[in-house]
C-alpha cells in the first residue's frame, strides 16, 4: 500500500510568493471568474451566474464532505454542470432556480444566503429539505461520478485502482483495511 505524506508544509517564502501572485491575479482577473476561499481553485462561470457557481461548489462540499479533497475537485464537477447548462436552457434554469431555492431556504430565519451560512450542520439541514428535488439529485449524481471516478483522488481514499492486471485482490491484500482511517 502506498504511504502518502498528508502534512502540508508552508514556508514563509512560499506564503509571501503566493500572496503576491494572488494580488496580481486579483487585479487582472476577468469578470465572471470565481476564486475559492482558500484560493486553491479558480473557475470561469460561463452559463450560470458566478454567485450560483460558488454556491454550487459549497453545496457539493456539503453533500460529500472530505476534508482532504481540495475545493478545486468540487469546482471541476460544477464546471461540468455549467458546461451542460450552456448547452441546455432546461439545465441552466434547473441550476439557477435550484440555487435560488437554496438561498431562499437559507434566508428563512437567518436573513442570509446559503454561502453566508457559517455552520455546516445548518447547511446540511437546508439540503435535507430539498433532497428529493430534481436539482439536488442532478448535483448529487454529478458528484458521485465526478469525485469518486477521479483517479487523481483515489489515493486520498486509499483505493489503488483495478487489481485484475496485477493478479487480483488476493495477491494484493484483499483483507487490508488500513485505508478506513483515511476517509
| pTM (global) more than 0.85 | no
**Confidence (pLDDT) at 20:** 59
- According to DSSP, the residues that pair with 33 across neighbouring strands are 44
**Are residues 152 and 76 in contact, defined by beta-carbon separation less than 8 angstroms?**
no
**Per-residue confidence band for 93, with pLDDT thresholds at 50, 70 and 90:** very high
pLDDT surpasses 60 at 75: yes
> What is the per-residue pLDDT across 51-65, written as a single tens digit (0 to 9) for each?
999 999 999 999 999
- H helical segments located in the chain: 12-28, 50-63, 71-87, 89-107, 120-128, 134-148, 154-157
Amino acid at each position: 500500500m502506498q504511504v502518502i505524506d498528508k502534512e502540508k508544509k508552508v514556508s514563509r517564502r512560499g506564503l509571501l510568493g503566493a500572496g503576491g501572485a494572488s494580488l496580481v491575479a486579483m487585479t487582472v482577473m476577468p469578470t465572471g471568474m470565481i476564486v475559492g476561499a482558500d484560493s486553491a481553485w479558480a473557475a470561469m462561470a460561463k452559463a450560470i451566474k458566478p454567485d450560483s457557481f460558488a454556491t454550487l461548489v459549497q453545496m457539493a462540499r456539503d453533500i460529500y464532505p472530505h476534508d482532504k479533497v481540495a475545493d478545486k475537485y468540487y469546482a471541476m464537477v460544477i464546471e461540468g454542470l455549467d458546461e451542460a447548462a450552456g448547452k441546455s436552457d432546461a439545465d441552466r434554469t434547473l441550476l439557477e432556480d435550484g440555487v435560488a431555492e437554496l438561498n431562499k431556504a437559507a434566508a428563512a430565519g437567518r436573513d442570509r444566503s446559503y454561502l453566508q451560512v457559517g455552520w455546516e450542520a445548518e447547511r446540511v439541514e437546508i439540503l435535507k429539505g430539498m433532497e428529493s428535488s430534481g436539482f439536488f439529485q442532478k448535483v448529487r449524481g454529478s458528484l458521485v461520478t465526478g469525485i469518486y471516478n477521479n483517479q487523481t483522488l483515489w489515493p486520498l481514499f486509499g483505493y489503488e485502482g483495478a487489481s485484475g492486471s496485477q493478479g487480483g485482490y488476493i495477491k494484493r491484500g484483499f483483507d487490508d483495511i488500513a485505508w478506513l482511517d483515511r476517509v
